[in-house]
Amino acid sequence: MFIGHYGPAFGAKAAVRRVPLWVYFIAVQWRDVIWSSLVLLGVEKVRIVPGFTQGSALDLYFMPYTHGLIGAIVLSFIFGGGVSMFFRQQKLAVFAATALAVFSHWLLDLVVHMPDLWIWGDLKVGFGLWRWVWISLPLELLSLFIGAWFYARFVPARGRGNLWLWLFVAAMAAVELYGVFGPAPASPQAEAQTALLAYGALAFLAGLVDLSRAKPAL
């Protein structure tokens, strides 16, 4: 699950417009930002196994801190609380929207991941839809497009705002297709570095797209 995580980011922006879209883009990938950093530090572990599943070559065999249920809840509260500190109004709404955006990552991972999401002891969960790319890929794209539709519907555009939005969404879908059908990452470190660059670039572009929308009333 990569691009599909951004569907909730668009949807959260439609619900609580006061928060910039780029913040939601960071929120939905916050756990993977930390995961990538911990992989580079050798704390959490991943193996690159081409053909591991149809949808991903990543064997995510040790990531209890960022992808365990307890870690997901803690990181959601930390991110939501941190962001809400920068807002004087609608603090509770901001907290709820950003914290839920972070937690949505775990819920979507649960659908596609193999059983690698730690709960407690030896218990790990994951529905494993990555085994069937003809199911997991449409679901991921559906998440993205539904979220973008809500954003287009409830965050009014200025000028060519909707054109830039759908071009951005199409580019994101193309990135997802390359990630699924392109070559496997060269190493865990290469995967982590590429992921961090992608998260930063997409958040930056989301900020530009958001500039073409009407500002929320104060």
Q: What is the pLDDT of residue 91?
A: 95
Q: Tell me the pLDDT tens digit for each residue of 66-101.
A: 999 999 999 999 999 999 999 999 999 999 999 999
pLDDT at residue 218 is higher than 60: no
**pTM (predicted TM-score):** 0.96
Question: Alpha-carbon dihedral of residues 198, 107, 28, 89, nearest 10 degrees?
Answer: 180
% of the chain surpassing 90 pLDDT: 96
Q: What is the pLDDT of residue 1?
A: 79
pLDDT at residue 191 is higher than 90: yes
SS3 58: strand
Closest listed residue to residue 192, CA positions, set 43, 50, 78, 10: 43
Q: Tell me the pLDDT tens digit for each residue of 104-155.
A: 999 999 999 999 999 999 999 999 999 999 999 999 999 999 999 999 999 9
Q: Copy the structure tokens of residue 102.
A: 């972070």
Least confident of 8-12, 29-33, 188-192, 210-214: 210-214
SS3 content of the chain, % helix, strand, coil (to 5): 65, 10, 25
The mean of the pLDDT values for the chain is 96
Closest listed residue to residue 113, CA positions, set 170, 72, 74: 72
Q: What is the pLDDT of residue 217?
A: 55
- Across the range 160-176, mean pLDDT stands at 97
% of the chain surpassing 70 pLDDT: 99
Q: Which residue ranges make up each domain of the chain?
A: 3-210
Q: Answer for the pair 75, 36: CB distance below 8 angstroms, yes or no.
A: no
Q: What is the pLDDT of residue 38?
A: 98
